[in-house]
């Protein structure tokens, strides 16, 4: 397994390889970075069998257009989730390309998966087996990759050393996903954004820290809704929740609180958009 680091958002793309075959995970982000991933597989004499998209956020779906004819795999909710966010995805890609002066010879099309799965899919590279596991919470369609033989986890947009959990879909689902991951034996961890690690203490610290954060978030938001607090009062009530990542996560934390408040049945008080709905 190789993790290829992008200069944008500290994003990681993956190459799983065995017996001359390769699976690419979220290849991106800049065109030259995608080309370097393809050059790496060529230097290693690897035949690319498929591309796995861990979820439908724009910074994870750019690779397939550089790999026409290569099968694309995604979790079953991918098409519906991507279609529901299509305008936002296209506008985000257009803004990024404009900012970085990236030419686009033809309009971007959302990738269409050739193979989907619901809860789990076993995928073989040569004699090695990879497990694709549904992991909703960050998005409805997120999935992770687990290699049992090496106890390695490709964690998609979770368990980062830089970002708190971005609960842009469901707090309840995110907590269930981390409980599932806690049941796996882990010796290697690669987050979608941030630093990979082989340190088992670090892996467990990330997992325990993010679970504690989400547990406290659920508890306090639940209390606030029961007490009839407004959304803004709930944000203030949750201001003291601690997390292991840096202070630059204050904005995402507020979005988490607002989204969790709505998920728990809180009254938005006339706000049309709140939480992660504001940013797609």
Tens of pLDDT, residues 12-42: 999 999 999 999 999 999 999 999 999 999 9
The b-or-e profile of 251-264 (16+ CB within 10 A means b, else e) is ebbebbbbbbbbbb
Instruction: Please report the sign of the dihedral spanned by the C-alpha atoms of residue 23, residue 131, residue 218, residue 205.
Output: negative
CB atoms within 10 A of CB 25: 29
User: How much is the pLDDT for 134?
Assistant: 98
User: How much is the pLDDT for 269?
Assistant: 86
Which tokens hold the place of 146? Answer: 């687990």
Instruction: Break the chain into its structural domains and give their ranges.
Output: 2-220
User: How much is the pLDDT for 42?
Assistant: 97
Q: How far apart are CA 261 and CA 277, in angstroms?
A: 13
Q: What is the CATH topology of the domain spanning 2-220? A: Metallo-beta-lactamase; Chain A (3.60.15)
Mean pLDDT by 10 residues, the chain (280 residues): 95 97 97 96 97 98 97 98 96 97 94 98 96 98 98 98 97 98 98 97 98 98 98 97 94 97 93 77
Considering the entire predicted model, what is its pTM?
Answer: 0.96
């Amino acid at each position: 397994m190789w993790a290829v680091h992008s200069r944008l958002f500290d994003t990681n793309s993956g190459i799983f390889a065995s017996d001359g075959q390769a699976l690419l995970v979220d290849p991106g982000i800049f065109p030259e970075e995608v080309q370097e991933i393809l050059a790496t597989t060529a230097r290693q004499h690897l035949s690319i069998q498929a591309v796995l998209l861990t979820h439908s956020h724009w910074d994870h779906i750019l690779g397939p257009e550089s790999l026409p004819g290569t099968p694309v795999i995604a979790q079953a909710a991918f098409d519906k989730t991507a279609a529901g966010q299509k305008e936002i995805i296209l506008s985000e890609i257009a803004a990024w390309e404009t900012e970085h002066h990236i030419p686009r010879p033809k309009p971007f099309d959302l990738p269409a998966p050739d193979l989907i799965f619901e809860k789990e899919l076993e995928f073989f590279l040569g004699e090695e087996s990879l497990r694709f596991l549904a992991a909703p919470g960050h998005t409805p369609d997120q999935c992770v990759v687990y290699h049992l033989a090496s106890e390695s986890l490709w964690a998609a947009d979770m368990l980062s050393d830089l970002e708190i959990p971005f609960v842009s879909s469901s707090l309840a689902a995110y907590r269930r996903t981390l409980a599932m991951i806690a049941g796996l034996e882990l010796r290697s961890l690669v987050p979608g954004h941030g630093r990979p690690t082989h340190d088992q203490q670090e892996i467990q610290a990330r997992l325990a820290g993010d679970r504690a954060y989400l547990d406290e978030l659920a508890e306090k938001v639940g209390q606030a809704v029961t007490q009839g607090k407004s959304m803004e009062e709930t944000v203030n009530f949750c201001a003291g929740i601690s997390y292991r990542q840096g202070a630059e996560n204050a904005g995402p934390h507020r979005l988490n609180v607002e989204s969790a408040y709505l998920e728990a049945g809180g009254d938005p008080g006339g706000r049309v958009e709140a939480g992660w709905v504001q940013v797609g």
